Each structure stands twice: as C-alpha cells, then as structure tokens.
Structure 1
Amino acid sequence: MALYENNIKLKGFIGKDAENFATKQQKTFTVLSLSTKSGYKDKQTQQWVNHTEWHRIVAFGKPADFAKNLKKGDYVEIEGELRSTEYDAEVGEGKKKTTVKRRGWEVRASIVKKLAKPVSGQNPDAEPITEDDAA
C-alpha cells in the first residue's frame, strides 16, 4: 500500500475544442477544459441546486496525441494527478497596487478516454454543459 497517493478520476464534457501547443524542446502537449456537475436538494425550497466545476487538463505524450482531436461537447474520462502552481498576481490600481501570491490547479492527465454520450433524459446530470452553466 502506498503511503502517499495523488490520483484523480473525472468524467465530464469538454467545454471547448482541445488546444495543442509545443514546448521549447518541440514536445507537444494538449490543454482541455473539462466540466463536471454535481448537485444537491435544498432543504428549504426542495429544489435541486446544480453546481458546475471547470477543470484545466494538461496531457503530454500519448494521452496528448489522443486528446488533441477532442471537440466541444465530447464526453470523456480523465485519469491523472492533481498539480498546483504558484504565481504572483497584481491586484489594485495606482498607488494601491500590490502583488499577491496565487495558486492555480490543473490535472496532469495520464489516461484520456472518449466515452459514448449518455442517453438524454436518462440522467439529468448527463446533459452537456450549456453557456448558462459556465462559470
């Protein structure tokens, strides 16, 4: 049994066509925008409240070769590890401008699978993300 593990598995819909880039060493990688949905029933109003989460997915090597052809609306499963990066960002204007540390999160994909789209109407969470859902 591993003492530490950093594994993540996500299923969702691609938010925009895959973007392909090359490093200075001419190695290619692919960046995806993946949406996942969750929801809960509000106890006061008895209404379902949906929440859409957007994930930045970065794939290198063979997963990148497969992911480069994915289009907006494709239903996929991603496996990989969660990575964070720290960067400086300026906030404020004029004399009140200051630099703060920010943290960004992404999933480094090791497996990218395109799945068959769920049958519409079978599961309300299986509907593709619309522009109104976008954060």
Structure 2
Amino acid sequence: MALYENEQKLKGYVGKDAESFATKNQTTFVVFSLATKTGYKDKQTNEWVNHTEWHRIVAFGKPADYAKGLEKGDYVEVIGETRSTQRELVVVKDKKQIKIKVRDWEVRASIVKKLAKPESSREENLDAEPITEDDAA
C-alpha cells in the first residue's frame, strides 16, 4: 500500500478545442478544459439539482500528442495527478492596494483517452440537462 497517492480519474466532455503551447525549451504541452457533472435529488422540492465542475487539464509528452486532436464536445477519460500553483494578485480597492494569494488547480494528465459517446449522457440522472455551449469555459 502506498503511503501517499495523488491520482484522479475523470470522465467528461471537452469544453473547447485543445490548445498546444511550447515551453522555453520547446517542449510541447496541451491544455484543455473538461466538464464533469454531478447531481442529487432535493428532498424538499423532489427535483434534481445539478452541478457542473470544470477541470483544467495539462498534458505533456505522449498524452499531449494524443490530446492535441481533441475538440469541443469529445467524450474523454483523463487519468493524472492534481497539481496546484499559488500566485499573488494585487487588488485595488478605495485607492488601497491589497495583495491576496490565489491557488489555481489543474490535473497533469498521464493518460488521455477519447471514448465513444454514451448513448444517453443522462443515464444515472434522467432529469439532468446536458451540458450546453453556454456552460463551456
């Protein structure tokens, strides 16, 4: 048994076409957004409450080669580790500068697989609405 584990497995829809970038060392990496959706039934109103979560996915190496062909609406599975970066943001309010720390989260993909779209994207929640273009990040 491992003492520490940092692995995420996500299945969802690509929010917009994957974008390729290069580092200073000319290493190619690909960035795309992935939407996952969850929901629950509100006991008081007896209606489904849905929540869409957006994930920033970054892929290097072979996963990047595969991910660069992904387009908006593709159904994919991503396996990777969660990474965070912290940055300082300066906010001006009433002529005062306030420095705040912001933490950004992303998944560094080690595996990216394009899957066949399920016949119904609402199998487990028949009342859920599908992700629309307005939801896209």
Find the counterpart in structure 2 of residue 73 from structure 1. 73
Partners of 1:120 and 1:127 within 8 A in 2: no
| TM-fit CA distance, 1:129 | 1.8
* TM-score w.r.t. length of structure 1: 0.92
Partners of 2:16 and 2:136 within 8 A in 1: no
| TM-fit CA distance, 1:132 | 3.8
Alignment of 1:52-63 (within 5 A): 52-63=52-63
Find the counterpart in structure 1 of residue 135 from structure 2. 133
* TM-score w.r.t. length of structure 2: 0.91
Alignment of 1:93-132 (within 5 A): 93-120=93-120, 123=123, 124=125, 128-132=130-134
| TM-fit CA distance, 1:90 | 1.7
| Number of residue pairs aligned between Structure 1 and Structure 2 | 135
Secondary structure (helix, strand or coil) at the match of 1:97 reads strand
Superposition CA RMSD, Å: 1.9
Q: Report the CA distance shift for 1:26/1:121 in structure 2 as closer, same or farther (over 3 A).
A: closer
1:35 equivalent in alignment to 2:35: yes
Q: Report the CA distance shift for 1:17/1:41 in structure 2 as closer, same or farther (over 3 A).
A: same
Q: What is the letter of the counterpart of residue 81 of structure 1? A: E
Partners of 2:8 and 2:79 within 8 A in 1: yes
Q: Report the CA distance shift for 1:7/1:101 in structure 2 as closer, same or farther (over 3 A).
A: same
**Structure 2 CA distance for aligned equivalents of residues 127 and 43 of structure 1:** 19
**Mind listing any 5+ residue stretches in structure 2 that lack a counterpart?**
none
State percent identity of aligned pairs.
71
Moved over 4 A (4+): 124-128
Q: What is the letter of the counterpart of residue 131 of structure 1? A: E
Question: Larger helix proportion, structure 1 or 2?
Answer: 1
**Structure 2 CA distance for aligned equivalents of residues 89 and 65 of structure 1:** 33
